[in-house]
Chain A
């Protein structure tokens, strides 16, 4: 079955960096786009970034542009999110999610990894 598992979250000071990973299994990873969506505790969902199936196209929310970088390694079925110059407002639960093959919706999500930016 399709599985996505995020890792790499933790507590980090403002201005520092963190790298999240999203490991995938149960589907042909190299043929699907993957996205990161975050959720502040008790708040709604915010799309962060997405990457096409082959890594040739990358998209970012304005709130993270220039600070976050998405990448993927199709040989390892993994997507990465490099987060630099972190701010307090980046504190959230970060989900990775797979694009559906029949639409641009997100049909499978991981359980999320928590990032806390605090001094």
Chain B
């Protein structure tokens, strides 16, 4: 079973700054199976990035994903006020078939 670790649990930034969020897997993950989600209070998660680096439909280009193997990164190039939320990475494994989520990183306003 693959475990995804997101650290730190909380990051503080000011609007306009660049934020880099980390997701580390306990074993090698196929890039095609790595996704990132954003969740705001009282809302369902929203898909941001799939296949490690492909933006989902309608996602602004200030969001980008990168990484391979066990280390993946979500970068927000210039933080907008609406970007302060919780971000989760997620991986799909095929043996056995299952999804795993990281514990989330909360992006808060400094």
Contacts and interface: CB of A to CB of B under 8 A. Distances in A.
B84 interface: no
B97 interface: yes
Contacts of B88: 44-45
Interface residues of A, number: 24
B66 interface: no
Interface string B29-69: 00011010101000111110011001011000000000000
Given A45-B101, A50-B99, A103 B44 contact: no
Among B37, B44, B100, max chain A CB count under 10 A is at: B44
Contacts of A104: 32-33, 92
B22 interface: no
B98 A46 contact: no
Contact of A111 (B32, B44, B92, B98): B44
The main secondary structure of chain A at its interface with chain B is: strand
Nearest to A96: B44
B73 interface: no
The main secondary structure of chain B at its interface with chain A is: strand
Interface in A97-119: 97, 100, 102-112
Contact of B47 (A45, A95, A105): A105
A113 B32 CA distance: 30
> How big is the B interface, by class?
20 to 34
A61 B50 contact: no
Contacts of B56: 100, 105, 107
B90 A105 contact: yes
A112 B44 contact: yes
A106 B47 contact: yes
Contacts of A111: 43-44
Interface of B: 32-33, 35, 37, 39, 43-47, 50-51, 54, 56-57, 88, 90, 92, 96-104
Interface of A: 35, 37, 44-47, 50, 57, 59, 61, 95, 97, 100, 102-112
Given A37-B45, A44-B88, A103-B50, 10 more contacts: A37-B99, A37-B101, A44-B102, A44-B103, A47-B101, A61-B98, A103-B33, A104-B32, A107-B47, A111-B44
